[in-house]
Structure 1
C-alpha cells in the first residue's frame, strides 16, 4: 500500500458477507473502492442479480459489487474485512490464508474480545488488526441490508490502519485509530452481554426490552460482573461504560441483538464468546458471574430446543 495526499482506490474483500460485512463493504463500494463480498450462496446469488440493497437511515439503493462464495476471492485484496461469526474464526482464517497478498491487512470486525488473537494464530505471517464495530444492522432478506443506526469504527494501530481509516471515513463510516482497542472491545463485550441474550430470549428490540419489568436490574448485575472480570484481567475500560449501556435503547431502539437474529433464523449463536467468555474468564480468575451464567445457559437451551424441534431429516448426525 502507498499513502498519498489523495488516497488510492483500495481493493477490499469482505470475508463473511452478513450484516456487518455488507454494511462496511457496501459503504466502501459506494465510495468507489473495488469490493468483493464473500458469503453464503443465498446472499451471493441475490447480490449478483440485483446488487446489494442497502436500506439505511440515509439512503435506500442497490449497490453493485463483486460477490463470491469462495475464500480464494480474497486474492489481490489490499484489505480484508473479516466479519464471520466468532465460532468460525480459525476455519475461515485458514481457508483464506493461502490466497492473501503478503502485505494485506486483515481487519477483524467481529464480536468478542479474542478473535484477533485467534486469527493471528492461523495467519502468523499477515497483519491482523482488531476493530470495534458500533452499528445496528440486519440482513432483512437475501442481499438486503437494513441499517437501524450508528456505524462508527475503532481500529487498532497497524502499518495500514491509518489508510483504511481514512478510506472508511471518506465513505461515510466515522473511523478512529486507537491505542486502547482492547479496552473498547471489552466495553463492547459488556454491551453485548447486557443486551444480546435478553433480546434473544424475549425476542424484543432494545427500545421495548428495557421497558419490561426487571430487565434493567438484570442488566445492572450482568454489567457489574463483566466489569469485575475486566478489572481482574487488567483491562482499562473507558470511563463511560455504564452511561453507554444506558444509551443503547435511545441510539438503537428498533435493533434486535445479533443473538436474537441468529435464534429467530435457527442458527447457532455467538453466546459462548459473549456471556460465555465472561463466565469462563470469571472461573479462571476467581470472579463470580452468576447472572452471565444464567443468560448463557438460557441461550444454549434455546439453541438446543430449536435443534430438537427440526424434522428428523434436518437433524445433525451424531
Structure 2
C-alpha cells in the first residue's frame, strides 16, 4: 500500500515506520531537520522489541500525499485546518484520511475541508522523538478506528504490520475515553516534567486525577457520550504500562512548543461552561499550562 504520513512527529513516525518496516511504500511529511536525518540515515525506531534504522521516504511538502491510498493525519490539533487545506489539492479521490490526533473533534474538522473519506482513530501509543529522525517507543501501539468503506482492508494492513487494530462503532466514546486520560495525565506531566510512573507515585496525585476525571465524566454525560470500558482501570493502567512516558504536552513544554491544552483540559472547561457544569480542576490545569507557554523564549 502507498501511505503518506502528514505530521511526522512521534505518532506519525511510529506508525509510518511500522508500515514501512512491513514493506509498504511510506512517505513521512515533517520538519526539515527530521526529513534530512531520515533521508540520510533512515528512520531510527527504538522500540521495546527492536532498535533499527528503517528505510522510508521523507518530504517537507504536503504534495507528497499524492497517490497515497492511506493518509495518516498526525498533526497537532492546533494545526488541523491548515494541514487539511495543505493536503487537499493532492489527495487521491479514493484516499482514506485516517485521523490519529488527540482530542475528540478533529475528524469532523478535517471533513469540512476535504472531500475524501475521513475516519477517526483512537491512538494508544507511548512514543517520543529523541532527536532528528529518531523515534523512541515506550509502550503499547494499538489503534481503534472508525468504520468506513476502507476500514476492514486498512485494519488488516495495520495488523499485518504488527499494529493491533480494532474497528469500533463507538469511536466517539473511545475518543472521549482517551481525552479523559489525557486530561488526567498530560498537564500534570507537563507541569511537573515527570513521566507517568513517577507522577502517579506522588502524594495527592491520584486524588487530583479523580477530581479531573469526575469533571470530564460529568461533561461527557451532558454531551450524551457513552464512555466504554472502566475509566478507573484505564487510568491506573497508563502508569503501569507506560511508566517512562512523558505526555505529549510535557514534550511540547520541554521544547518550548505550543501545546494542545486548549483541545484537552481547555475543551472540558468550554463544554462545562456551555452546560453549566463547574470544572475547577481542569480549569486550573489549563490555566497553568497556558501560563507556562508565556515563559517560552519566543512565545507563539
TM-score by length of 2: 0.99
Give the corresponding residue for 1:42. 33
Residue 174 of structure 1, CA deviation: 0.3
Tell me the number of residue pairs that the alignment of Structure 1 and Structure 2 aligns.
300
Give the corresponding residue for 1:283. 273
Q: After superposition, what is the alpha-carbon deviation per residue over 1:19-69, rounded to whole angstroms, capped at 9, x for unaligned? A: 000000000001111000000001000000000000000100000011100
**Counterpart-to-counterpart distance in 1, 2:128 and 2:15:** 13
Q: After superposition, what is the alpha-carbon deviation per residue over 1:260-306, rounded to whole angstroms, capped at 9, x for unaligned? A: 00000010000000000011011111111110000000000000112
**Counterpart-to-counterpart distance in 1, 2:63 and 2:28:** 11
Structure 1 counterpart of 2:246, from 241, 256, 263: 256
Give the corresponding residue for 1:51. 42
Give the corresponding residue for 1:7. none
Indicate whether 1:266 and 2:262 are aligned. no
Secondary structure of 2:78 counterpart? helix
Does structure 1 retain, via aligned residues, the 8 Å contact 2:293–2:299?
A: no
Gap change, CA 1:262 and 1:231, over 3 Å in 2: same
**Counterpart-to-counterpart distance in 1, 2:33 and 2:277:** 43
**Counterpart-to-counterpart distance in 2, 1:315 and 1:301:** 11
Gap change, CA 1:297 and 1:171, over 3 Å in 2: same
Does structure 1 retain, via aligned residues, the 8 Å contact 2:216–2:268?
A: yes
Give the corresponding residue for 2:106. 115
Secondary structure of 2:83 counterpart? helix
Structure 1 counterpart of 2:73, from 65, 82, 96: 82
Note the 1:232-251 alignment, pairs <5 A: 232-251=222-241
Structure 2 counterpart of 1:96, from 82, 87, 98: 87
Structure 2: which 5+ runs fail to align?
none
Residue 139 of structure 1, CA deviation: 0.3
Give the corresponding residue for 1:64. 55
**Counterpart-to-counterpart distance in 2, 1:79 and 1:264:** 32
Does structure 1 retain, via aligned residues, the 8 Å contact 2:121–2:171?
A: yes
Note the 1:182-261 alignment, pairs <5 A: 182-261=172-251
**Counterpart-to-counterpart distance in 1, 2:148 and 2:276:** 34
The runs of at least 4 consecutive aligned structure 1 residues that moved more than 4 Å come to none
Give the corresponding residue for 1:153. 143
Residue 211 of structure 1, CA deviation: 1.2
Structure 1: which 5+ runs fail to align?
1-9
Q: CA RMSD in A?
A: 0.8
The 10-residue stretch of structure 1 (234-243 or 25-34) with the greater mean CA deviation from structure 2: 234-243
TM-score by length of 1: 0.93
Structure 1 counterpart of 2:129, from 132, 135, 139: 139
Residue 239 of structure 1, CA deviation: 3.2
Give the corresponding residue for 2:22. 31
Secondary structure of 1:76 counterpart? coil
**Counterpart-to-counterpart distance in 2, 1:216 and 1:242:** 10
